[in-house]
């Protein structure tokens, strides 16, 4: 299961997510999303857990918990919405 982790403190790194979620089971991946130009955290990330029961337990335990003064939002990740491409502005 892919898990969305939002409202992360900007100082949190991939290893921090691995440490926190690793307490609930096996992880396939853990990534804090960063700005591609500055390298600064965008304040959210994703964790991949192969066992759905462990993932559900992690979501239940960690949602709305405090991390360095910020209340985390933890839930099952939803597929990214399709966004229009281009920007032709209606010109032909």
Size (the chain), residues = 92
The number of beta carbons lying within 10 Å of the beta carbon of residue 75 is 12
- Cα separation, 81 vs 67, whole angstroms: 28
Q: Given the structure tokens 């992360």, which residue do they identify? A: 8
Q: Domains of the chain by range and CATH?
A: 2-76 (3.30.70.330)
Q: Given the structure tokens 């281009």, which residue do they identify? A: 86
Note the pLDDT tens digit of each residue in 10-30. 999 999 999 999 999 999 999
- Cα separation, 35 vs 61, whole angstroms: 28
Select from 23, 13, 15, 17 the least CA-distant residue to 5.
17
Note the pLDDT tens digit of each residue in 65-87. 999 999 999 999 998 777 666 55
């Amino acid at each position: 299961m892919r898990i969305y982790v939002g409202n992360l403190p900007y100082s949190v790194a991939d290893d921090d997510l691995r440490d926190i979620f690793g307490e609930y089971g096996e992880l396939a991946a853990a990534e804090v999303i960063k700005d591609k130009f500055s390298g600064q955290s965008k304040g959210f990330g994703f964790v991949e857990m192969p066992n759905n029961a462990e993932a559900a337990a992690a979501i239940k335990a960690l949602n709305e918990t405090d991390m360095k003064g910020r209340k985390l939002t933890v839930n099952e990740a939803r597929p990214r919405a399709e966004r229009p491409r281009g920007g032709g502005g209606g010109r032909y």
